[in-house]
Amino acid sequence: MRILGIDPGIAIVGFGFIDKEGSKLTPVQYGCIQTEAHTPTEERLLQVYEATLQLIDKYKPDAMALERLFFNRNVTTAFTVGQARGVQILAAVQRGIPVAEYTPLQVKQAVVGYGKAEKKQVQEMVRMFLKLKAIPKPDDVADALAVAVCHAHSSTLNNKIAEVLRND
């Protein structure tokens, strides 16, 4: 199973593709999509959408996982990031790719085993799970890989639950 993890944003979108074979996780490609600050929002959204489609077409994921938004301060930023998430979800759905969403708490719980883990702990666990030499930079990239790892762990559990329910 190939998973595309996304850390949504408008200025920087982190992405990470991982392959899951059994319990083994292998990084495929990771990086970020960046847009220029003084570009109109609609153009930035188009850039994010087109870049997401290009990545999907090139790496052909079986699933996309995104971090669910949590903002308690800047509502304007939340709306813009929400729009960016929307165009990324649209890109996945247009290509027939199922989309899963995880809260920051769920990601931390799946990656570190503790829902209130520090960002550095999550990044270090991502590095270890994927056997990377260094923590990916910027932080958005490491966050995207963490979401992908979370989905890899969650999909195993969800598949087992579905199997049990089918056999009942």
The pLDDT of residue 90 is 97
β-sheet bridge partners, residue 30: 16
Pairing of strands 2-7, 63-67: parallel
The 8 Å CB, 24+ separation contacts for 157-162 are none
Count Cα atoms within 13 angstroms, Cβ side, for 65: 26
Q: Which comes out higher in pLDDT, residue 20 or 162?
A: 20
**Enzyme catalytic residues:** 7, 67, 140
Q: What is the pLDDT of residues 41-86, one digit of tens each?
A: 999 999 999 999 999 999 999 999 998 876 666 666 778 888 999 9
Contact, 17 vs 4, CB < 8 A? yes
